[in-house]
Amino acid sequence: MKKTTGNIIYKEDTEQLVRFAKALGHPTRIAILKHLENQSCCFTGDLVDIFPLAQSTISQHLKELRNAGLIQGELNPPKIKYCINKENWKTAKALFQNFFD
């Protein structure tokens, strides 16, 4: 499917690549993804213990990654367990590979 922005028509893949690239536009988000890629899942508190950032900052980065579809969260009150969205992670890798080829 194609989307129009102004007078320019973009493929859906292009829009998805932009969404992934924007989410990867911060070093902390890349570090979080690298950590999650090596874990089955983890909680926000685990990431606060690893990264020297406030919980609210970690939560904001997780929100951006979740909104882009790169991670998914499962509510385990009062915590949220996060892990890589394997399907979208595979798609992101393929889209970036195609872009750079």
- What CATH number did the domain enclosing 12 receive? 1.10.10.10
The per-residue pLDDT for range 45-63, each reduced to its tens digit, is 899 999 999 999 999 999 9
**If you average pLDDT over residues 17-25, what whole number do you get?**
95
Give CA–CA dist 16/37, Å, rounded: 20
The total of structural domains in the chain comes to 1
Percentage of residues in the chain having pLDDT higher than 90: 67
pTM of the model: 0.85
CA 89-37-28 angle, 5° bins: 90
How much of the chain is in helix, strand and coil states, percent to nearest 5?
55, 20, 20
Give CA–CA dist 85/101, Å, rounded: 24
Tell me the residue range of the domain where 15 lies.
8-91
